[in-house]
């Protein structure tokens, strides 16, 4: 009688790293509009609310279509644009060969494996997703008088939604947590240094970068902020 070897013995087992991240996040957009267009918004938002009877940011979305000749609020994004989970609200699960290695928030991961310090191999890619416009007159820039005189206004819009994303990577050797890091953006490095939090775009392991695939913004949309 001839016995066949089990399938697991007929081929080499590969080490696989799987990362799951869930939590609240945003589709984040920042861009400039002219003072003239801003004045149009102030003048017409009440009229839009009577016509469309929707929440404020949707009114802004309709304003972008009706008055700025755009496809929607996302077209005002010449300063920065991304979709991601907020780092402070992220829950992460790490699996190695389908076995759970870690489950918890980012601070718990840092405390358990990185002595409470920053995750050394993490990458900040803010420069790839946004521009930094730091004003020379920082002390007076955010005052009403300065805002009224400025010829361009910075508009920030955010959705509020929950995401669940995951990606995996084939490892060349046994897993080492010290080779792991997060790919992040920091909103205070965009726009005028206004802080809306840090966000997770993906992860990196042993110099290999993996981006999460986020769906388009479909959640509740916040009111626009003007600076």
Residue 6 has pLDDT above 70, yes or no: no
65 alpha-carbon distance from chain centroid: 24
Taking all residues of the chain, what is their mean pLDDT, rounded to a whole number?
A: 90
Please name the residues in contact with 162: beta carbons below 8 A apart, sequence gap of 6 or more.
22, 23, 24, 25, 219
pLDDT digits (tens, 9 = 90+) for 69-85: 999 999 999 999 999 99
Residue 51, helix vs strand vs coil = helix
Contact 28, 191 (CB under 8 A): no
Structure confidence by residue, pLDDT tens digits, 22-49: 999 999 999 999 999 999 999 999 888 8
SS3 176: coil
Extract the tokens encoding 172.
């060349």
Q: Which residues contact 56 (CB under 8 A, 6 or more apart)?
A: 45, 49, 223, 224
Q: How far apart are CA 60 and CA 64, in angstroms?
A: 6
What is the spatial distance between Cα 162 and Cα 197, in angstroms, rounded to a whole number? 16
Q: How confident is the model at residue 51 (pLDDT cuts 50, 70, 90)?
A: confident
**Comparison of pLDDT for 139 and 81, the residue scoring more:** 81
CA 143, 145, 149, 153 dihedral sign is: positive
pLDDT of 82-135, one tens digit each? 999 999 999 999 999 999 999 999 999 999 999 988 899 999 999 999 998 877
What are 185's strand-pairing partners? 199
* pTM, 2 dp: 0.89
Four-CA torsion 202, 205, 209, 210, nearest 10 degrees? -50
For residue range 158-176, what is the model confidence (pLDDT) as tens digits? Answer: 999 999 999 999 999 999 9
Task: Please check whether residue 174 is in contact with residue 15, taking contact to mean a CB–CB distance below 8 angstroms.
Answer: yes
């Amino acid at each position: 009688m001839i016995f066949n070897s089990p399938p697991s013995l007929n081929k080499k087992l590969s080490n696989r790293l799987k990362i799951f991240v869930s939590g609240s996040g945003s589709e984040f957009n920042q861009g400039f509009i002219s003072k003239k267009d801003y004045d149009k918004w102030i003048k017409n938002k009440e009229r839009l609310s009577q016509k469309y009877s929707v929440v404020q940011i949707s009114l802004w979305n309709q304003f972008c279509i009706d008055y700025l000749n755009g496809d929607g609020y996302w077209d005002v994004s010449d300063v920065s644009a991304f979709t991601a989970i907020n780092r402070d609200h992220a829950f992460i699960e790490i699996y190695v060969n389908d076995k759970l290695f870690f489950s918890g928030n980012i601070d718990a991961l840092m405390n358990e494996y990185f002595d409470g310090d920053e995750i050394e191999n993490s990458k900040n890619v803010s420069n790839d997703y946004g521009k930094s416009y730091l004003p020379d007159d920082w002390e007076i820039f955010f005052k009403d008088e300065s805002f009224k005189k400025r010829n361009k206004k910075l508009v920030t819009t955010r959705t509020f939604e929950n995401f669940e994303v995951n990606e995996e990577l084939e490892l060349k050797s046994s897993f080492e947590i010290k080779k792991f890091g997060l790919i992040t953006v920091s909103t205070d490095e965009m726009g005028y240094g206004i802080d809306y939090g840090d966000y997770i775009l993906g992860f990196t392991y042993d110099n290999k970068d993996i981006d999460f695939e986020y769906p388009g913004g479909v959640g509740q949309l916040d009111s626009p902020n003007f600076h």
